Amino acid sequence: MANDNEMKEQLIKRALLARRWSYSPYSHYAVGAALLTRSGKIYDGVNIENAAYPSGICAERVAVFKAVSEGERDFEIIAVVTENGGSPCGGCRQVLAEFGLETLVILADATGKLTAEFQLREILPDAFTPDKLTG
Ligand code: THU
């Protein structure tokens, strides 16, 4: 179920709805994300910018941090909605990689049209993962 089209549509809708709350007065590039956990919960997030520019945060990271702060660490799918189907930045790929390279990343544009999908490992090759610190 989690991997089927219905779930993907649901996640895109959720990211699209969340995107309304993006706080992006500087870039005007609103991003919404929706993260599905293996336990079946969905955590959404938006980008939150700041007058001190580097203090802002991406939508994907907000969703991941909300989930992790509630005890969730196993992720199946993250949907990201932007104006034009933009792809997650390198920092967000790295944050997602901490919790597994199998996470499916799906992208959609502002109309909710799915524009691309990848497994995280495809878009973060040779990732630096937690095992590197112990192995
Ligand atoms: N942004 C995200 O929220 N996610 C990404 O993966 C790419 C960029 C945000 C950061 C900033 O608020 C705006 O989009 C423009 O870079």
From first to last of its 135 residues, the chain has per-residue pLDDT tens of: 556 999 999 999 999 999 999 999 999 999 999 999 999 999 999 999 999 999 999 999 999 999 999 999 999 999 999 999 999 999 999 999 999 999 999 999 999 999 999 999 999 999 999 999 997
43 close to 37: Cβ distance less than 8 angstroms: yes
Distance between start and end Cα atoms, the chain = 35
| CA–CA dist 127, 111 (Å, integer) | 32
The H or E element containing residue 115 is: strand 114-119
SS3 for 17-79 is: HHHCCCECCCCCCCCEEEEEECCCCEEEEECECCCCHHHCECHHHHHHHHHHCCCCCCEEEEE
60 CB near ligand 1 (under 6 Å)? yes
Q: Which of 28, 29, 82 to mutate to test the pocket of ligand 1 (most atoms within 8 A of CB)?
A: 29
Rounded to the nearest angstrom, the distance between the alpha carbon of 92 and the centre of ligand 1 is 9
Rounded to the nearest angstrom, the distance between the alpha carbon of 29 and the centre of ligand 1 is 7
Indicate the pTM of the whole model.
0.96
